[in-house]
Structure 1
Amino acid sequence: MARVLVVITPAEGHVNPSLGLVTQLTNNGEEVIYVCTEEYRSRIEQTGAQILTYPFPQDAFSHDPVLKPQEYKHSYQFIHMMVSGIIRRIIPDVLRVIENQKFDYMIFDSLMGWGGTILAEKLGIPAVCSIASFAFVEPLGSDSGLNEKETKELYEATMNITRELAEEFHVSIPAMEEIPAHAGQLKFVYTSHYFQPQAEKLDDSFIFTGPSIIPRQDAPTFSFEMLRERYPQTVYIAMGTILNKNLDFYQLCFEALGDLPVNVVLSSGRYTDMEPLADQIPHNFIVKPYIAQLDMLQHTDVFITHAGMNSTSEALYYNVPMVMIPLTSDQPLVANRVEELGAGITLNKHNLSATDLREALAEVLNNSFYKRQAFLIGESLRHAGGYQRAAEMIMSHMASAKCGRTNLGPIESR
């Protein structure tokens, strides 16, 4: 069987979708070497893969000024983040820890962009792109939020780093718009063709396999029987793993939902100090630092979320409609698509009030239309094939490509 290199950006929303695929590849007999950070060792080793690590700050995506999620006013801001925050910091370390090792093919994270192409070229192997969000038909960012001077300065700063990296690794210099492009012979998108915006503009190398639904073995227990004993309906609130320390938002939730005859389960985050609000928690709230989300969603009527791609996909997989408060990055794009397909309501974080939240929840909770639309998207996700189909297609493609290399010479990594 093949020896596979997997390189994924060390962030929850990128590592977690890859775990089902890696598990299936190892179960199918592939030898998988997964390069990431120490933070993810336990869950990666549970897949059967071998992990190699490099140093990277654990809270980088929360506090680092370059990596911290933001609303991109221009696509160049996103590209600069990729080049300076990810490619320059991670790719040299990956090459260091795999030095002198041989692989048959590799799987890399789409957030690495051109960095994945560098690895494939240096190793001389074909590559597969793992896309944890929507495939970007258009660059992330409006291209209208910066003035001409700011745009030019950002372009020059980004291309200066790009030229330095190209010289260091002895590869060709890409054009600006090529840096974030989805490279690889195959591109696996963890959603459905139905849910993907503008899917008709993507070619056949984009494979839609649906979300990677795999139980977390380190998840804590939760008494779901207790919920129905209290109220017949349950609302679940979780704002992801990066920007989940906003106590003002949690206080607003208490005000908006505290007197409703529903269960409200709030996942506040492992590193969020809720002590300042301890005496304000309403009787219908259950507040925990971490909840097994896949289990929770199967007992949820409405999900209040930041509209991260993972959380949104998991909710829709279980037919759960949403009230969405997108915070940053691709979350507005995800929320817009959910709202466009009728499976939820989007609220503006900048002028959010308790009344807004309460009214939106009441609408989604009591109008069966949203549940029906969530079911339609959920059906498309469940029928997409999942990580089992992804693993099968990758192995089949690489087996065919190996025969082609034997007969016809090497094949390109892009």
Structure 2
Amino acid sequence: MANILVAATPVSGHHGPLLRIASHLSSAGHEVVFLGGARFADDVRAAGPGFRALPPEADYDDRDFSARFPERAGVPAGPAQTMWDVMHVFGDPTPHQHRALQEALAGFPATAVLYDNLFFGGVALSLGDAPDRRPATYSVGISPLGVESRDTAPHVLGLLPPVDDAQRAEYAAIAARMAEQRAPLVGHLRSCFAAAGVTLPEGPLGRTLTDSADFFLQLTVPGFEYPRSDQPTGVRFVGAIPIPATVGQEPPAWWPELERARAAGRRIVVTTQGTLANTDLDRLVVPTVRALADREDVLVVAATGRPDAAERVAAHLDAVPGNAIVAGFVPFADLLPLTDLLVTNGGYGGTQAALAHGVPLVVGGDSEDKPEVAARVEWIGSGVNLRTGDPSDDRLRAAVDTVLGTASYRERAAALAKEYAAHDALALIEGMVTDTGRH
């Protein structure tokens, strides 16, 4: 059995996959310690691993970003906000995360350390010592692979791969301009890593972050990611982390309505804005409910991920349509097998889960990594990319009609589901991190 330290940024979309990995490793008999946000302590202990809290300088509650990062609200969504997030949400905690990892390792001699790909304290640990003087390190890719490549567009813009030399030249010019614009970001990160006693190497940032760990475990299948002829050798596609099944819980009160709709041959359309960008439900969830209000052949499930779901949605609608269910937290492991279409803002984990169940998508998101997720959905032909985070009702209605009425979207999603089924992500990760040799 192995000693394994798992570390996660205190954001739900980062914490969740890392905790499911840690729980699997713990249930397999390995000694596991989880370093994460204090608000997740009870969940971690209930899942099996031991728990250590991040220091206050590296901890915050992602349910209220404005409390810790008040300036963020003034940064426009898109590349500017992504750059701000990398600098401050993920960059500033670097020395404190690094110190927390070292302190944890001093009392828990782990043979392997796993961390999400934006837990920069883990990157500092990987860079700070030669591989034979530290535990094996594994960065877990919980967002689209961001390594620069001659075969892809500049990352974060949501552009499809180049199709000819002219477009490659165009993208190269865009990348050069972006490099100039990112100079403050790189300089800021250098100071963050220097505060941890580590030098951030020269070269493209995405490649440095991917190459620093011994292995980079991307939580998807090759079919969802752009092919790169110059892909780093340490990248491994391990598949999607399965959504945990609900055990010992009663189904929601509205579940019989869902089953009746399925039995009657109605299509089930689920809409969600995930766990982070779900404060303003009038961006995607409410417009989807409104756009499909007259569709008798459809039942819409608004999965808001919020305890105040009814109040939030009611604030934007005169009344909830008769063909819609407004829900807070839903049992996605049970819901996705019954779903015909997911309308989503493009959260990485939720998109992987939908495709693993063969569910096609309509994607409309403009924050964090969501444009890149939407572009990949478009590229693989498993859904419609709305190319906006604020689609109109008409645009949503047309996109839903297109996906439900065109067999190729579901066929492509079904083909991807077979690829996901061929990857047992948790078993693959366990096999890698418990192997004492560096493969």
Aligned residue in 2 for 1:252: 287
2:52 is equivalent to residue 80 of structure 1: no
Q: How has the CA–CA distance of structure 1 residues 360 and 154 changed in structure 2, closer, same or farther, with 3 Å as cutoff?
A: closer
Distance 2:397 2:185 in 1: 45
Q: How does 1:6-405 map to 2 (within 5 A)?
A: 6-54=6-54, 55=56, 56-59=59-62, 62-63=65-66, 64-65=69-70, 70-73=77-80, 77=84, 79-81=86-88, 84-88=91-95, 90-96=97-103, 100-113=107-120, 115-120=121-126, 121=128, 124-138=134-148, 140-141=155-156, 155-156=183-184, 158-159=186-187, 162-163=190-191, 165-166=193-194, 168-175=195-202, 177-178=204-205, 180-215=209-244, 217=246, 221-222=251-252, 223-230=254-261, 231=264, 232-249=266-283, 250-261=285-296, 262-272=298-308, 273-274=311-312, 275-277=314-316, 279-349=318-388, 352-396=391-435, 399-401=436-438
Seen in structure 2, the aligned counterparts of structure 1 residues 61 and 2 have a Cα distance that, compared at 3 Å, is farther
Residue 343 to residue 394, structure 1, CA distance change in 2 (3 Å): same
**Per-residue CA distance 1:294-319 (angstroms, 9 max, x = gap):** 21111110110011110100000100
Deviation at 1:7, TM superposition (A): 0.8
Residue 215 of structure 1, CA deviation: 1.3
Change (3 A) 1:295 1:83: closer
Q: How many residues align?
A: 397
Q: Alignment partner of 1:248: what SS?
A: coil
Quick one: structure 1 residues 177 and 385, their matched pair in 2 at CA, closer, same or farther if it must change by over 3 Å?
A: same
- Aligned residues of 2:18 and 2:115 also touching (Cα < 8 A): no
Please report how far the alpha carbon of residue 132 of structure 1 lies from its aligned counterpart in structure 2 after TM superposition: 0.9
Point out the more displaced range, 263-272 or 308-317: 263-272
Counterpart residue type for residue 295 of structure 2: L
Higher relative contact order (CA 8 A, sep 6+): 1
Which residue number corresponds to residue 5 of structure 2? Answer: 5
- CA distance in 2 between counterparts of 1:42 and 1:109 reads 20
How far is the alpha carbon of 1:192 from its aligned partner?
Answer: 0.5
| Structure 1 pair 269–350 and aligned structure 2 pair: CA distance change class (3 A) | closer
Query: Which range moved further: 353-362 or 156-165?
Result: 156-165
Q: Is the 8 A contact 1:133 1:309 kept in 2?
A: yes
Aligned counterparts of 2:307 and 2:366: Cα–Cα separation in 1:
19
Letter in 1 for 2:226: P
Q: Deviations over 1:23-75 (max 9, x none)?
A: 33223321011000122224322432111113322136743257779411598
Root mean square deviation, CA, Å: 3.2
Secondary structure at the aligned position of 1:314 is classed as helix
Quote the offset at 1:346 in angstroms: 1.2
The verdict on how the C-alpha distance between 1:181 and 1:74 changes in structure 2, with shifts beyond 3 A counting, is farther
Residue 326 of structure 1 aligns to a residue whose secondary structure is coil
Native 8 Å contact 1:74 1:140 kept in 2: no
Q: How many angstroms does 1:19 deviate by? A: 3.2
Contact 2:245/2:334, CA 8 A, preserved across alignment: no
Structure 2 stretches lacking a partner, 5+ long = 149-153, 158-171
Displacement of 1:109 in angstroms is: 1.3
**Structure 1 residues 156 and 226: CA distance shift in structure 2, 3 A:** closer
Distance 1:271 1:70, change over 3 A: farther
What secondary structure, in the 3-state scheme, does the structure 2 residue paired with 1:359 have? helix
Cα offset, 1:269, TM superposition: 2.6
SS of residue paired to 2:376 = helix
CA deviation after TM superposition for structure 1 residue 386, in Å: 1.8
Q: 1:353 to 1:341 in 2, by over 3 A?
A: same
Q: 1:217 to 1:41 in 2, by over 3 A?
A: farther
Query: Residue type of the partner of 2:287?
Result: L
CA contact (8 A) 2:23 2:47 kept: yes
Q: For the Cα contact (< 8 Å) 1:134–1:197, is it kept in 2?
A: no
Query: Structure 1: which 5+ runs fail to align?
Result: 405-414
Q: Once structures 1 and 2 are overlaid, which stretch shifts more, 302-311 or 248-257?
A: 248-257
**Structure 1 residues 263 and 291, CA, compared in 2 at 3 Å: closer, same or farther?**
same
* Shift in CA distance, 351/19, structure 1 to aligned 2, threshold 3 Å: closer
Displacement after TM superposition at 1:106 (Å): 0.7
Which range is displaced more, 190-199 or 13-22?
13-22
Q: Which amino acid in structure 2 is aligned with residue 126 of structure 1?
A: A
Say whether the 8 Å CA contact 1:236–1:302 is kept in structure 2: yes
The SS at the match of 1:298 is helix
Deviates more, 1:90-99 or 1:12-21: 90-99
Counterpart-to-counterpart distance in 1, 2:20 and 2:212: 21
CA contact (8 A) 1:190 1:209 kept: yes
- The code of the aligned residue for 1:104 comes to T
